[in-house]
Amino acid sequence: MSAGLLYTIGFILSVIIALVMTPLVKKFAFKVGAIDKPNYRKVHTRIMPRMGGLAIYAAFVVGLLLLMPFIPDGMLTETNMNLIWAMLAGGTIIIVLGAFDDRLELSAKVKLLGQIAAACVVVFVFDIKIDFLNFPFGDAMQPIASWLSIPLTIFWIVGVTNAINLIDGLDGLAAGVSGIAIGTILVMAIIMGNIPIILLSTLLLGGIVGFLFFNFHPAKIFMGDSGALFLGFCLAMLSMISFKQITIVSFVTPLLIIGVPLSDTFFAIIRRLVNKRPIFAPDKGHLHHCLQELGFSHRKTVLIIWGVAAIFGGFAILQSTVVQSNAANWITFLVICLVMLCLQIGAELIGIVDKTRRPVINFLNRMRLRLKVDADRTK
């Protein structure tokens, strides 16, 4: 079986499994009491089943196991299998943790310990960690000492895992943003010929697409922490594995791929520090909340954020494809500056940190007025 046909069958198979499993998971969630009740922070007005992540997980795992006998021997190298088993082992820990949280609402400390345990399995059992970084204006990949590599890898996995969970506030939002990020990784893996990443990304993307049939507004089921944490873990793993040892890719690329959840997490931390609130305290100041306050409907808000995620993905692909040129370092630097400027202006416009403070916009307005005054004087 050719690689292209294998990936196509894997995607279709994963979509079908998700379509079949999601209604079953919905019934199971109601039966065990894994439900989400409306409150002041949430936009839904009726009781909704959670645990939708189980359907995505099932599509990924069952699809992979069904494809295994048909994968050519050349693709099943020891290194590739190590990556696959690491994803399965860590992902299983995360999905079990998330499912218990959907039912029992675990404390933040328990969830954090579970995520650290999954990351430690990846690092210590399968020996997968960030060994090299390629910084802008560097001549080559820079090796990282083991004492720094291990905590950096664990921090990356735990951080990205939670970032997806923070944006899971509207129907289809987290699933769509995750799907766009995984689609970006898939495109880049195809360009680089990274076989295991193509296979894993294809299966995950199929599971997300199948689940979105039931999760897009108006949703019939929520993915819950089981889905948000699982997709976050998968994104952390795929972005790290794909690019950690490839000299043509800068360290900026994985940050761009998951730019929406990371930036929302960053602004949430800044917002809570500015308002002197605990960092882990929930609020209604996230990106989707701000857009809805501006008058956008539920569906339009989701589509806008999907569009922003797609722009981030486009930047990541552009940055990685030109990084081989002589001007790569300057292009990377300009991409970073442009993205940071756009993020800051966007944050000030929608008030994601503070409704009244707009330092960059005020500075640009003053510069515009000064230029206008100078132009009038020269006339």
Residue by residue, DSSP assigns 201-233 as HHHHHHHHHHHHHHHSSSPSS--HHHHHHHHHH
**pLDDT tens digits along 22-38:** 999 999 999 999 888 76
Q: Give the CB-side neighbour count of residue 192, counting CA atoms within 13 A.
A: 24
**Amino acid (one-letter) located at 238:** L
Query: CA 256 to CA 319: how far, in whole Å?
Result: 9
**pLDDT tens digits along 279-290:** 666 666 667 667
| 233 against 250, higher pLDDT | 233
Q: Please give the pLDDT value at position 45.
A: 61
Helices (H) and strands (E) in the chain, counts: 14, 4
Q: Please give the pLDDT value at position 248.
A: 38
Q: Please give the pLDDT value at position 44.
A: 55
Q: Which segments are annotated as binding site for Mg(2+)?
A: 165, 225
pTM of this structure:
0.83
Q: Residue 113 has which token pair?
A: 């310990």
Q: Which segments are annotated as binding site?
A: 165, 225
SS3 15: helix
CA distance readout (Å), 34 to 21, 44, 100, 104: 16, 16, 9, 8
Query: CA 271 to CA 274: how far, in whole Å?
Result: 5
CB atoms within 10 A of CB 337: 10
SS3 132: strand
Q: Residue 23 has which token pair?
A: 């209604």
CB atoms within 10 A of CB 44: 18
Q: Report the first-to-last Cα separation within the chain, whole angstroms.
A: 73
Is the pLDDT confidence value at 246 over 60? no
- pLDDT-based confidence at 309, cuts 50/70/90? confident
Is the pLDDT confidence value at 325 over 60? no
Report the chain's mean pLDDT, rounded to a whole number: 81
SS3 33: coil
**pLDDT tens digits along 341-360:** 777 777 777 666 666 777 77
**pLDDT tens digits along 216-235:** 888 899 998 999 999 999 99
Is the pLDDT confidence value at 377 over 80? no
Query: CA 94 to CA 100: how far, in whole Å?
Result: 10
Is the pLDDT confidence value at 91 over 90? yes
Q: Please give the pLDDT value at position 331.
A: 64
